[in-house]
Structure 1
Amino acid sequence: MQLPETGSHTPGTVRPGGRTARTRAAVRDAVLTGLAEHGYPGLTVEYVAELSGVHKTTVYRRWGSVEGLVADALQLAGEDSWTPPDTGSLDGDLRALAREVTETFGDAPTAAAPTAFVAAAFQSRRAAEALHDFYAERFARCESVVTRAVERGEAPLGTDAGAVVRAVSAPLFFRVLITREPIGTPLADQSAAAVAAAVRAGAYLPAG
């Protein structure tokens, strides 16, 4: 459920075999590194071209601007094969989801690029739309966690799966991005346990 991290991919590994795919992956990796090192305001097309080894003219022709580069990096991240955890229980699945957030955002070096994506969304409409689409798709994948819980009898029929998976990460994102407080495994487990208890109590059933 996390955003892409610097060093988390090797150029060309997302769609192997094609020159275009390798170019796109190399540019994506350069964007991630640039966001981590300089943030969105310091990211330039020239920097991405030099680091990726892709000619600046090609970068401009294909991506147009820094906004285009950031949006495509997020789109490429959303094309991966990530699947939500399947531990065999609602509690275990929610805990695993929450821990993934802390693994990404709880360590400063690892969190640098993902946090920069969020910051970019406040400065660029195109980046904001790409970030929205990334998380909408990510959360949609995670809804299977709740679907399985309903099938096992761990959650009431009609439980709002989208609300549940968002609620697990919400307090973690609040601390990282708003109050700038540290997060870790204990907080992840606490958030997961609270949401699981609320699910069982019917808190995520439709009102009325």
Structure 2
Amino acid sequence: MSAAGTVRPGGRTARTRAKVLQAALEEVGERGFDAVSVEDIAVRAGVHKTTVYRRWETKDRVVAEAFVEAIDSTIALTDTGDIRDDLRVIARTVLVTVQSTAVNAAVRTLMSGGHSSEHVRRFLLGFFDERLVQVTPVIQRAIERGQLPQGTDPVLLYKHAIGPLYYRHFIMADPLTPADAVMTADAALAAARAGTFVLPLASPEVPPSRATHT
């Protein structure tokens, strides 16, 4: 993902930009979106506030660009031929991601009111949507190989494979390890193979002329 219309400068300007974006992540990660101002970001970055306003204009823009810059939205995808191994790799990758400064700041922002910002909201929705787009073919191939039931919903399986990691990290503050990621992936796979994530077929509507009246 890259910020639309963003031209990355070089030299001293690039170093200043990097300091400002890192400062934005750290400020939001520590204090939450609503509590942070452009002035706070500038002070932390060691630059004048006009430098930030001149390039980004608003806090929303600088925070959104900081997220885009910091988070690599590509999941480590594999095609091992075994959905168990594929899901484990995905879960371990997500674990590393949720423990990163950028994602911690992003989630803190979402929970503290950042969703009201169009720039930040667009980034967060795009980030998670892109992840789903990337992982869906992995699950679809497993269905085609007969490793998952026909009709398995890739979105539901993915959410249950990685959702507990987000919950335990951000809500429970558990110290997670790669073994926890493997356990979560295996639990989601067991549920999927039991048909838990198979979407029910829509029931055909009964034509009015054939409906039974009592």
The TM-score normalised by the length of structure 2 is: 0.70
Aligned-pair RMSD on alpha carbons?
3.1
Equivalent pairs, count: 187
In the alignment, is residue 114 of structure 1 matched against residue 103 of structure 2? Answer: yes
> 1:179: which partner in 2?
172
Query: In structure 1, how many angstroms separate the alpha carbons of the residues matched to 2:139 and 2:17?
Result: 33
Taking the TM superposition and a 5 Å limit, the aligned residue runs for 1:185-196 are 185-196=178-189
The 2-side partners of 1:25 and 1:92 are apart by 39
Task: Report the residue type matching 2:148 in the other structure.
Answer: A
Partner of 2:204: none
In the superposition, relative to structure 1, how do residues 83 and 24 fare at CA in structure 2: closer, same or farther (>3 Å)?
farther
Contiguous gaps of at least 5 residues in structure 2: 1-6, 202-214
Q: Within 5 A, what are the aligned runs for 1:88-127?
A: 88=80, 89-105=82-98, 110-122=99-111, 123-124=113-114, 125-126=116-117, 127=120
TM (norm. structure 1) is 0.72
**Offset, 1:143:** 1.4
Counterpart-to-counterpart distance in 2, 1:184 and 1:174: 14
Q: Aligned partner of 1:32: which letter?
A: L
CA distance in 2, matches of 1:93, 1:22: 38
Q: Name the residue aligned to 1:19.
A: 9
Instruction: Report deviation, 1:146.
Output: 0.5
Aligned mates of 1:120, 1:53 — CA distance in 2: 23
TM-aligned CA deviation for residue 201 of structure 1: 2.4
Question: Kindly, what percent of the aligned residue pairs are identical?
Answer: 34
The 5 A counterparts of 1:63-102 are: 63-76=56-69, 80=72, 82-88=74-80, 89-102=82-95
- Give the secondary-structure state (helix, strand or coil) at the position aligned to 1:19: coil
Q: Which amino acid aligns with 1:82?
A: T
Aligned pair partner of 2:143 in 150, 172, 176: 150
Is this contact kept in 2: 1:74–1:134, CA < 8 A?
Answer: no
Gaps of 5+ in 1: 1-16
